[in-house]
Amino acid sequence: MSRQDGSGRQVTTGPVDDSGTPILHVDMDAFFASVELLRRPELRGQPVIVGGGGQRGVVSAASYEARRYGVYSAMSMALALRKCPNAVIVPVDMPRYAAISKQVMAIFEEVTPFVEKLSIDEAFLDVGGARRLHGSPAEIAWTIRTRVREELGLPCSVGLAATKFVAKVASGRAKPDGLLVVPADRTLEFLHPLPVSALWGVGRVTEESLGRLGLRTVADVAQTPLDALERAVGPAVGRKLHALANGVDPRDVSTHHVEKSIGHEQTFRHDLTDPEEIRRVLLRQAEDVAVRLRRAGLLGRTVVLKLRYTDFRTVTRSRTLGEPTDVAKRIYDEVCLALDGLDLDGDRVRLVGVRAEQLRPSGAAASLWDPDEDWRQAERTVDRLTERFGRGAVRPAALVRRGEHDRVEPQRGQVDPFLG
């Protein structure tokens, strides 16, 4: 979700040279909030926050009216309400958002087969081969925005450029509900005045490292010797930032999606302090992750534990396995070992998460010795029973005895990065 609040909006309003800009980045504007306004139009013009769980919840999306108060996604609901006490809170409805997202992506795919879906609400399109049927890139972008608005009632912003990076920056500058074309020969003119935070991959830590060198703008980074950048932020990051700052981004729009991680996390209405209670949560989450791995035909080599404390400190601990797995017992055992390495000492925990990373296809180069084979067969039997009788038909005894823990909102999906 974008953090733009509409200030500093920049759009294309007249004729422009789009001959060298085949890459589109389409980003739905405040997607969850915009979808909610379709069924509650009386809220238009009001600050709307999509989220759950009252004061202990997390903001999933905010309308532009709410963003102007400083409310953004991933912010705690308590802080959001302090910033914007007159906000209207609407609960999350992921099935509805997913269904509408499919309709949005279907419109894109009618224009070009080269669609790279980045998330539920944004995608790259390569329209270089669609000119004969649909017109110039700018005409195609205009058509897409019009269709999404007329057919679905939703606003979106589009950036057009010669590269993916510049197209994504342009769509952000065009928000909300705008279109910005960056002609290929004006790429550096567009990029160089921007702050270093506009560069892909520059977060707070990297921005501070660049700031210590006196680098405040993209132009500063572009003009800095490569070896100095590499010393400041590391060779790989330094090379990437130097290339992007000079308008170089050779990546094509890719229609092949590869999962990077599969995970599950929960924020609780009441803090957890009992390690055994945390272990029961981890057991359930390990089961969920394992099921999703098996359904996707994937194995995970690294298991990650995430805890967030009541003061919002967040810790992650990872363990890399000798052999990748899709077995809940193995995942659970590893996250428990990671938990044992933390000194909780009465700390109050508000969020718990489990994730599998370093994924690979389950049929790839299997080991001659599989330490999880017996458990895998048992869990696949449970999968079949679940398909027949429904979720929860067969559960570990620990969960059956003690029941499911009260939760606010499961943050999950095909790839659902942990929020830091």
pLDDT for 89-139, tens place per residue?
A: 999 999 999 999 999 999 999 999 999 998 899 999 999 999 989 999 999
Rounded distance between C-alpha atoms, residue 243 and residue 230, angstroms: 12
**What's the token pair of residue 19?**
């001959």
How far is the CA of 39 from the CAs of 33, 64, 106, 399, in angstroms? 11, 18, 22, 38
Task: Look at the block and give the residue holding tokens 């052999």.
Answer: 323
Q: What's the CA gap between 365 and 372, in Å, rounded?
A: 16
Catalytic residue among 36, 65, 122, 287: 122
Measured distance CA(89)–CA(391) in Å, rounded:
30
Backbone angles phi, psi at 326, to 5 degrees: -130, 25
Sheet of 115-119, strand order: 115-119, 122-126, 23-28, 156-161, 179-181
Place of tokens 């272990």: 279
Going by pLDDT thresholds of 50, 70 and 90, the confidence category of residue 366 is very low
Against a cut of 0.85, is the pTM above it?
Answer: no
Burial of 47 (0-12, 13-18, 19+ CB in 10 A): buried
Q: State how far the Cα of 298 lies from the Cα of 363, in Å rounded to an integer.
A: 8
Distance CA 65, CA 173 (A): 17
The per-residue DSSP string of 88-156 comes to: EEE---HHHHHHHHHHHHHHHHHH-S-EEEEETTEEEEE-TT-HHHH-SHHHHHHHHHHHIIIII---E
Report which residue type is found at 171: S
Confidence band of 401 (pLDDT split at 50, 70, 90): very low
As a whole number of angstroms, the distance between CA 195 and CA 314 comes to 28
pLDDT in tens, 60-78: 899 999 999 999 888 888 8
375-399 tens-digit pLDDT: 566 666 665 655 554 545 445 544 4
pLDDT tens by residue, 319-343: 988 888 999 999 999 999 999 888 8
DSSP character at residue 77: H
Q: What percent of the chain has pLDDT over 70?
A: 83
Encoded tokens for 288:
């969920």
* Residue 376, pLDDT score: 60
Round to whole Å and give the CA distance between 222 and 191: 10
Model pLDDT, residue 267: 84
Region 350-363: mean pLDDT is: 88
| pLDDT at position 207 over 80 | yes
Per the listing, tokens 């589109």 go with 24
88-90 and 48-51: which strand pairing?
parallel
Could you give the CA distance from residue 342 to residue 359 in angstroms, rounded to a whole number? 26
Instruction: Name the phi and psi angles at 59, rounded to 5.
Output: -75, 125
The pLDDT of residue 198 is above 50: yes
Query: In sequence order, what are the beta bridge partners of 160?
Result: 24, 181
- Give me the half-sphere count of Cα atoms (radius 13 Å) on the Cβ side of residue 93: 17
Q: In what order do the strands lie in the sheet with 48-51?
A: 59-62, 48-51, 88-90
Q: What are phi and psi of 66, to 5 degrees?
A: -75, -35
State yes or no: pLDDT of 2 exceeds 70.
no
What is the DSSP pairing of strand 59-62 with strand 261-272?
unpaired
Who's near 192: CB < 8 A, 6+ residues apart? 217, 218, 219, 222, 245
In the prediction, which pLDDT does 414 show? 32
Distance between CA atoms of 374 and 356, rounded to whole angstroms? 20
**Structure confidence at residue 380 (pLDDT):** 60
DSSP 3-state of 239: helix
Q: Is 258 helix (H, G, I), strand (E, B) or coil?
A: coil
Closest CA to 251 of 116, 112, 414: 116
Per-residue confidence at 268, pLDDT binned at 50, 70, 90? Answer: confident
**pLDDT, the chain, mean:** 85
Predicted confidence at residue 255, as pLDDT, reads: 83
CA distance 28 to 168: 12
357 has catalytic annotation: no
